[in-house]
Amino acid sequence: MVDMPVIFEYVPRDTFLHKMNPLSKLVMITCIFIVSSVYWDLRYLGVLAIIVAILYIVSKTPKKWLLLALPFGAYRFIEACILGFALADPKYYKVLPPEVAGKVLLQIGPITLIYGGFLWAVAYIFRIVLTMAVTFMFIYTTSLNDLIKSLTSIRIPYFLVYISVVALKFVPEFLRMLMTINMAQVLRGWSLKTKNPVKLIKKAQPLVNPFTRQIIHYVDRVTISAQIRAFGAKEVRYPWRIRFTAIDYIIPLVSIVAAAIALYLLIRYNMGLI
């Protein structure tokens, strides 16, 4: 039986990112993560966003993945707004002049939102979107088989490799499981359509009950699989060797140099701060 395609899963495509070695991609996205995690200036985050957007489009990663992540983004947006209100002291900002950072944009009773706090909140959300886009791009363009071979080739402990693979397969497997159960129940004439919240909970039982049992069964299988592998019992040797192309060397090298320059400018001149 052929598995039905689901979101947040690798799909083979003819792009240069799909052809790149997973280790090279890991170096590239790690550099992006590092820069995006320490920079707060929206101008530089905008430059980084353009680079990520180009990579996202070239890799043909589905745009709907980002749309499906909007609920999480909305939650983090509320969190960012709360934190932005909390940063109401101009002394928190190293680059903006105090009179600019302290400009009041909104005041609700004792709660004040200043210009610096607003920039911080927007940058906070911007960084989350960048992180999600890069993560989705890596998942979409990286085969688990290639990832396993690459990680084991550099002597990553195999129990860590196993954990990484299980984590990457967790969401797709659960979504596929949920879709299968939903399809089976629909073929039996089941429908979840109702405006009554009490009836909605009752009508969801044919979906929730088997899904819960499948989750428990899945966790048991993973636990047993981890136990029978006898991690650490003896040294494991792998027969494969990883080959790198020119692009597998060029892109990580450029990424490391760019990240190093960005960090130097941040530490030396406070570039990227607000």
pLDDT in tens, 181-201: 778 877 777 777 777 777 777
- Residue-level pLDDT at 104: 83
Cα–Cα distance between 22 and 151 in angstroms, integer? 8
- Residue-level pLDDT at 39: 94
The pair of structure tokens assigned to 81 is 């707004």
Chain-centre distance for alpha carbon 2: 27
- Residue-level pLDDT at 71: 76
- Residue-level pLDDT at 52: 95
Cα–Cα distance between 38 and 67 in angstroms, integer? 26
How much is the pTM?
0.77
The pair of structure tokens assigned to 75 is 């939650």
- Residue-level pLDDT at 222: 67
Other Cβ atoms less than 10 A from the Cβ of 88: the count is: 17
| Ranges of the chain with pLDDT below 70 | 1-7, 171, 219, 222-223, 225-240
